[in-house]
Copies of this chain bind each other. A is one copy, B any other.
Amino acid sequence: MALTQARTMPGVLELLPLDQIAFQRVLDTIRRNYERFGFLPVETPVMEYSDVLLTKTGGETERQVYFVQSTGSLEQGEKPELALRFDLTVPLARYVAEHEHDLSFPFRRYQMQRVYRGERAQRGRFREFYQCDIDVIGKDGLSVRYDAELPAVIYSVFRELNIGAFTIQLNNRKLMRGFFESLGVLDAEQQTLVLREVDKLDKRGADYVRETLTGTNFGLAAEVADKILAFVQVRSSSLQQALEQLDALGPGPESMEQGRAELKEVLGLIRDFGVPESHFALNLSIARGLDYYTGTVYETTLNDYPQIGSICSGGRYENLAGQYTKSRLPGVGISIGLTRLYWQLREAGLINTARSTVEVLVTQMDEARMPAYLALASELRGAGIATEVVLEGGKLARQFKYADRAGIRFVLVLGEDELAKGVVTVKDMRRQDQFEVARAELIKTLRVELAQAEIAP
């Protein structure tokens, strides 16, 4: 038979086992923290009806959708009825609308599943990637206090992921809109265009942006351009400073006052939620998707890796599921694009891919002693210690080499000597240390060592 080349499509991140273990650890940490804050799991089917999935979108998103067809439908030349989800927000909207009467509000859900986008293949861009989202959905209304809870969750997640210092940056779309209105930039579309220019600040510098804004395309007065540039450069380094900076913006139209009041309340509550002031800040340049978000917006960046960009973003929206239901469902949510983040963290050397889930390897000295090896392994597994037994034998040196390559920390030897003395020889592959321990003490000893490893960086 001619061989088919085993290969995967471009734009997917398929991992080798040790890498997958590291990825799984990150997933578990995120989930544990989401659950610790009382968010409930939801999973939705990877496929949705195309007409349900594509009610709102248009333009680029729709062009990136993967459509799905069964063999029968394909043969009959039908238009595909199904498509793969491209985010978790549309499935959430569909879920909440479909199950509205079975859910309690505010509905707090987390969802960690893969999504699909037919992006152009490019290094660091993925066509299949994990999103890890949390959202709180209210019915008719939702207190702005929830806008402060999400940064507390973000803080908890990234602190535990232990990937260095990070800052959760906040802005408010009402504040922004009101500010632009106060400068006579009333049209939402023009506000968008101005913000897009302002986004070039870091790359092109203030002079370039000022020139564009006062040029023929925008025609803003120099004074207005300067005010915009000053506004978007506001960053706080403490809660007190953030509140002062907000006050210093001076009075504005109603939406600006609303946005300011919301931001102040949210910033104060973030502190009450226990987030250190070093980890959140005002950043008035953050806009996010202009159509979708209507109040608080967030971005989170790693202080030492600004080039990675935002590792967790989100915000407040007015109505989740207007395309499916007449109920008004305001919400606030954040999303971690985990596949890309994991890839970037690994590139930056912040991921440890040398540790297996397998904690112990029981070696085989003599195949006649197999029952003793299996009994030892059973005992360890019963104590919750992940244990592999060498079932095929071979030289002991090769068995050690296997453990080393596989990232297994403890290798146990149970030879005739050990059996006679009632002990086990333990080799700690990480510390390159070897010791004997009484059989009765083995589990306790390994547990202590493994618990210490959990704490170590």
Partner of A273, one of B16, B108, B114, B378: B378
Provide the bound-state CA to CA distance between A23 and B43, in Å. 10
Whether B272 and A14, one on each chain, are in contact in the complex, defined by CB atoms closer than 8 angstroms, is no
User: Within 8 Å CB of A97, what residues of B?
Assistant: 6
Whether A324 and B4, one on each chain, are in contact in the complex, defined by CB atoms closer than 8 angstroms, is yes
Partner of A45, one of B38, B128, B406: B128
Q: Separation in Å of the A256 CB from the closest CB of chain B?
A: 25
Q: Separation in Å of the A228 CB from the closest CB of chain B?
A: 34
Whether B386 and A35, one on each chain, are in contact in the complex, defined by CB atoms closer than 8 angstroms, is yes
A interface secondary structure, majority: mixed
Within 8 A of B (CB), among A1-42: 1, 3-9, 12, 14-18, 20-21, 23-24, 35-38, 40-42
Per-position binary interface string of chain A over residues 369-395, scored 1 when its CB falls under 8 Å from any chain B CB and 0 otherwise: 011001100100100111111011000
A95 in contact with B374 given A6-B325, A20-B42, A45-B9 (CB within 8 Å)? no
Whether A6 and B52, one on each chain, are in contact in the complex, defined by CB atoms closer than 8 angstroms, is yes
Q: Assembly of this chain: how many copies?
A: 2
Whether A391 and B146, one on each chain, are in contact in the complex, defined by CB atoms closer than 8 angstroms, is yes
User: Within 8 Å CB of A391, what residues of B?
Assistant: 106, 143, 145-146, 149
Whether B128 and A46, one on each chain, are in contact in the complex, defined by CB atoms closer than 8 angstroms, is yes
Does A241 have its Cβ within 8 Å of any Cβ on chain B?
Answer: no
Interface segment, one of A61-69, A185-193, A292-300, A342-350 = A61-69
Whether B8 and A358, one on each chain, are in contact in the complex, defined by CB atoms closer than 8 angstroms, is no
Does A109 have its Cβ within 8 Å of any Cβ on chain B?
Answer: yes
Interface segment, one of A70-78, A229-237, A302-310, A413-421 = A70-78
Partner of A62, one of B71, B142, B145: B71
Whether B40 and A357, one on each chain, are in contact in the complex, defined by CB atoms closer than 8 angstroms, is yes
A1 in contact with B322 given A98-B8, A274-B375, A391-B145 (CB within 8 Å)? yes
Provide the bound-state CA to CA distance between A68 and B65, in Å. 10
Whether B71 and A69, one on each chain, are in contact in the complex, defined by CB atoms closer than 8 angstroms, is no
Within 8 A of B (CB), among A79-111: 80, 82, 84, 93-95, 97-99, 102-104, 106, 108-109
User: Within 8 Å CB of A80, what residues of B?
Assistant: 69, 74
Q: Separation in Å of the A398 CB from the closest CB of chain B?
A: 11
Within 8 A of B (CB), among A114-159: 114, 116, 118, 128, 138, 142-143, 145-146, 149, 156
Closest to A149 in B: B391
Partner of A24, one of B41, B74, B381: B41
Whether A387 and B37, one on each chain, are in contact in the complex, defined by CB atoms closer than 8 angstroms, is yes
Q: Would you mind naming 18 contact pairs between A and B with Cβ atoms under 8 Å apart?
A: A4-B52, A6-B93, A6-B97, A6-B98, A7-B52, A9-B48, A17-B41, A35-B386, A38-B388, A38-B389, A40-B356, A47-B128, A66-B68, A67-B74, A69-B80, A149-B389, A273-B378, A274-B374
Task: A6-B324, A67-B68, A272-B371 are known; give 19 further A-B pairs, CB within 8 A.
Answer: A1-B323, A7-B98, A8-B44, A8-B45, A9-B48, A15-B43, A16-B99, A21-B40, A37-B386, A38-B386, A40-B356, A41-B357, A45-B128, A62-B71, A64-B70, A64-B71, A106-B391, A143-B392, A273-B374
